[in-house]
Structure 1
Amino acid sequence: MKNIYLFNEGYGLEKMILGGKGANLVEMKKIGLPIPNGLIATTVACKNYFKNENCLSVDMIKDIKEGIKKLEIETGKEFEGENPLLVSVRSGAPVSMPGMMDTILNLGLNDNTVQKLIEKTKNEKFVYEIYLRFIEMFAEIVKGVSREKFVKIKEYSKEKTYEEIIEAFKGLYWIETGEFFPENPEEQILMAIESIFKSWNNERAKIYRQLNNIDESMGTAVVVQEMVFGNFNALSGTGVAFTRNPSTGENELFGEYLLEAQGEDIVAGIRTP
Structure 2
Amino acid sequence: MHLLDPPLHEFLPTREEDFADVAEAAGVGIEALKARANELHEFNPMLGHRGCRLGVTYPEIYEMQARAIFEAACDVAAETGAAPIPEVMIPLVATRREFDLMKAVVDAQAKAVFAEKGREIAYLVGTMIELPRAALMAGEIAETAEFFSFGTNDLTQTTIGISRDDAGRFLTQYVDKGIFVTDPFVSLDVEGVGQLIELAAERGRATRNGIKLGICGEHGGDAPSIHFCEKTGLDYVSASPYRVPIARLAAAQAALKRG
Q: TM-score, normalising length from structure 1?
A: 0.28
Compare relative contact order (CA 8 Å, sep 6+) and give the higher one, 1 or 2: 1
Which structure: greater strand fraction? Answer: 1
When you count helix as a share of all residues, which structure comes out higher? 2
TM-score scaled by length of structure 2: 0.29
The higher radius of gyration belongs to 2
